[in-house]
Structure 1
Amino acid sequence: MLPPGSPSDRVPPAPPGTIFVIGPQGGYAVPPRRYTLLFGRDREDVHVPVGVDDPTVSRRHGVFTCAATGGDWWLVNTGNLPIELPDGVLMLTGHKRIVGPGYTPLVINSSKRRSHLVEVRVVDGDDLHPRSTSSADTAAPETVYALSPQERLVLTALARRYLEGQDAFPLPLSWEDTARLVNASPYATKSWTYKSVANTAEDVRERLRRRGVRGLTRDEVGEPVGSMLSVNLIRELLRTATLNAQDLELLAERS
């Protein structure tokens, strides 16, 4: 058992494969062996209480299981509400997936507009010999996609609402509005149409698809497609810091 306030950013010495599950009232650690670890609202019936004062959280909301010594840890959603993963994937009731090494925050979003966090860390071999990086220079994100200046201009315009950060649920601009915004920029090197900006975004989507990014084709998104291809493209570019708020300077109108 781990007391309340246990650190989620570091773990005590433990064999690789050990799982640490931490909630607001404490947590639990188990080495990789046959075990079932429960979290949810009923503090008397789970290892890790979460959302104890929120009746929309299930009494047993989730289960971590390991089938054998040295095996993988699996997470199953046994609650009514989805469990949101860091990549935006929603685990619905009955969904099951492996929890990989490293840190994984799980969020239960309550219908009462509350969010409940369960922090999970599975010890990797590197955790046995951690290296301090507190004084090192900040490293660039591991995956940054190269964009030409004109691609960056087009995608910045397409993602303007995301980059401004003023909308709770932003959407990409239309192709027509994107073209108008690009043409108003002093950095535009040609006259853009709604077709040319759409083709530019499609070229970047295809490059990212070839690198294994999912959610960028019609088959993966399904019908109706709507703006989901652009939404997923923008989210990937923001997630990897390929685009950031400083790029809005490209949209300064011609004087």
Structure 2
Amino acid sequence: MNHESLARGVPHAAPGAIVARALTGHLHIDPVEGHTVWFGRNRPNVDLCVGENDLRVSRRHGVLTRRDGHWWVSNTGQLPIRLPGTRWLFRDEESVPLNSGYTPLFVRGSREREHLLELYVADGTAKQPVPQHDSVTQPPTRWRFTHDEHLLLVVLGQRYLLHEANPQPVSRQQAAHMLAELQPDANWSVKRVEHMVADVRARLSAGGVHGLLREEVGEPVGNTLNDNLLRELVLSTSLVPPDLALLDPLP
């Protein structure tokens, strides 16, 4: 079998067609309304076998369906399917529409294993990417902040900058206390922390970052909004570990 990744494109596919690839094989399906493609562990009873030696993978773990001009993915298995953007799709949840282009799905298995199912929905314009060995590297989008915003975000995200295994944002109360120690004359309070962080999230959301608004993540919100914010700042290198030097004056 050819293990070439679909992430590199599908140059010869009709608009709306979907190509699916797993470790055991691949399929090319035309965009016929009502068409279904089953995937899971039971090779004889699915269209594409995924995780055939993993008993945590359901025999029919999920299905792709063509309807209303789109391909939709549904989870029919016992364990969740991980989609891009840290989203999880659970059994009996509403189907998720697939965007044109490349989408990797990760089927949860045993002992933290995840089985990859690559999908590519053609839009009629896909071409094999051209090698660009000598081209200038495109820098990430680095977000800019005022001095006080930057200091607040370093305080809030210090555990992420320390590369802790499962970091969480510092609480509003603790952040306000630390900031008051760093800037005794700056009138830091829990309310000021809340308002400034909310302003930063709104600004980044308007700039195209998903998962920073309450309506985008659902209830209960908990730390999700600030967790998403801090992960974006670290991944975009808007916050970097040397920023922790700003906290050196703390006792």
TM-score (norm 2): 0.80
Alignment partner of 1:79 is 2:77: yes
Aligned counterpart, 1:97:
96
Residue correspondence of structure 1 range 1-255 to structure 2 within 5 A: 3=1, 5-15=3-13, 16-34=15-33, 35-67=35-67, 71-94=69-92, 95-110=94-109, 112-128=111-127, 130-141=129-140, 144-167=142-165, 169-179=166-176, 181-182=178-179, 191=186, 193-195=188-190, 196-211=192-207, 215-217=211-213, 225-253=221-249
Task: State the alpha-carbon separation in 2 of the partners of residues 223 and 127 from structure 1.
Answer: 38
Identity of aligned residues (%): 37
Helix, strand or coil at the partner of 2:6:
coil
What amino acid is aligned across from residue 18 of structure 1 in structure 2?
A
Query: Secondary structure at the residue paired with 2:201?
Result: helix
Please report how far the alpha carbon of residue 131 of structure 1 lies from its aligned counterpart in structure 2 after TM superposition: 3.2
Shift of 1:184: 6.6
2:171 counterpart letter in structure 1:
S
Amino acid at match of 2:204: L
Q: Distance in 2 between matches of 1:181 and 1:73?
A: 49
Q: Partners of 1:97 and 1:24 in 2: how far apart?
A: 23
CA change 1:67–1:202 in 2 (3 A) is closer
- Unmatched 5+ residue regions in structure 2? none
> How far apart are residue 78 of structure 1 and its match?
1.6
The whole-number CA distance in structure 2 between the counterparts of 1:202 and 1:242 is 17
Q: Quote the Cα distance in structure 2 between the aligned partners of 1:218 and 1:202.
A: 11
Deviation at 1:84, TM superposition (A): 1.4
Supply the distance in 2 between the matched residues of 1:134 and 1:252 (Cα, whole angstroms).
Answer: 41
- Two-structure CA RMSD over aligned residues (Å): 3.1
Query: Per-residue CA shift, 1:170-200, capped at 9, x if unaligned?
Result: 1111234334555676xx6964634233332
CA deviation profile, 1:145-192 (whole Å, cap 9, x unmatched): 43223212211221111222222x21111234334555676xx69646
Residue 59 of structure 1 aligns to a residue in which SS? Answer: coil
Report the Cα offset of residue 86 of structure 1.
Answer: 1.0
Report the Cα distance in structure 1 between the residues aligned to 2:248 and 2:199, rounded to whole angstroms: 25
1:4 CA drift (Å):
5.2
User: Which secondary structure does the structure 1 equivalent of 2:7 belong to?
Assistant: coil
- d(CA) in 2 for partners of 1:17, 1:87: 23
